[in-house]
């Protein structure tokens, strides 16, 4: 199945937003490519307060996101970037299932959008094509999702004006 190119030309400018990017140290070169494209799109659309943290692996993302939200409730969004490669055991399923469940829980309880762009792949070529330095890089999609959800939330929080 062909990947779609995400249009970044009409994104809202998100000034004064604070975004945290969590990355896994596994498959560092691929994750760095995701990170760089993500941060580039965020910066191009007004997000200049971007903090990045590299964690031991994706399984630590829910814990780290929870700690970040607890200690800094003014974060506008958290973006999670990583690669999990399917092996011969159930370890892959355990990691992906727990990370998705945990991030959802933190997002709802902490009331902060969490963008999950962890690539669950069967072989590294799948991750390489999704982290390539081109317009199909999934880091771009993560940034777009963060920008759009921040803009949506800000619009939702505006006081209603009487008509």
Q: Give the CATH number of the domain where residue 40 resides.
A: 3.40.50.960
So what's the pLDDT on residue 89?
78
Nearest alpha carbon to residue 138 among 148, 153, 126:
126
Q: What is the mean pLDDT of residues 100-104?
A: 98
Residue 98 inside a domain? The answer is yes
Which residues span the domain enclosing 120? 18-147
**DSSP label of 60:** G
Does the structure show a pLDDT above 90 at 146? Answer: yes
Residue 152 tokens, joined: 């949506």
Residue 16 tokens, joined: 């004064």
- Give the global pTM: 0.93
pLDDT band at 160 (very low <50, low <70, confident <90, very high): confident
Number of domains in the chain: 1
Q: What is the mean pLDDT of residues 138-161?
A: 92
Q: What is the mean pLDDT of residues 91-119?
A: 96
The helix/strand/coil state of 62 is helix
Does the structure show a pLDDT above 60 at 127? Answer: yes
Residue 86 inside a domain? The answer is yes
- In the numeric block, the tokens 């072989």 are attached to 123
Residue 74 inside a domain? The answer is yes
pLDDT band at 88 (very low <50, low <70, confident <90, very high): confident
Q: What is the mean pLDDT of residues 13-19?
A: 94
Residue 65 inside a domain? The answer is yes
Task: Tell me the pLDDT of the chain averaged across its residues.
Answer: 94
So what's the pLDDT on residue 63?
98
Judge whether 91 counts as a catalytic residue.
Answer: yes
Residue 34 tokens, joined: 């995701």
Predicted confidence (pLDDT) per residue in 24-43, tens digit: 999 999 999 999 999 999 99
Catalytic residue among 35, 71, 91, 161: 91
The rounded radius of gyration (Å) of the Cα atoms in the chain is 16
């Amino acid at each position: 199945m062909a990947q779609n190119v995400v249009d970044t030309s009409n994104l809202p400018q998100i000034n004064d937003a604070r975004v945290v990017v969590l990355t896994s140290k596994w498959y560092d070169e691929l994750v760095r490519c995701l990170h760089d494209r993500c941060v580039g799109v965020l910066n191009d659309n007004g997000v200049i307060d971007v903090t990045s943290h590299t964690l031991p692996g994706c399984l630590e993302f829910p814990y780290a996101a929870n700690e970040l939200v607890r200690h800094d409730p003014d974060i506008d969004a958290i973006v999670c970037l990583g690669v999990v490669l399917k092996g011969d055991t159930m370890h892959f399923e355990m990691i992906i299932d727990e990370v998705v469940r945990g991030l959802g829980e933190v997002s709802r309880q902490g009331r902060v959008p969490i963008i999950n762009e962890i690539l669950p792949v069967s072989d590294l070529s799948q991750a390489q094509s999704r982290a390539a330095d081109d317009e199909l890089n999934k880091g771009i999609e993560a940034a777009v999702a963060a920008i759009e959800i921040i803009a949506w939330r800000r619009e939702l929080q505006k006081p209603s004006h009487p008509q």
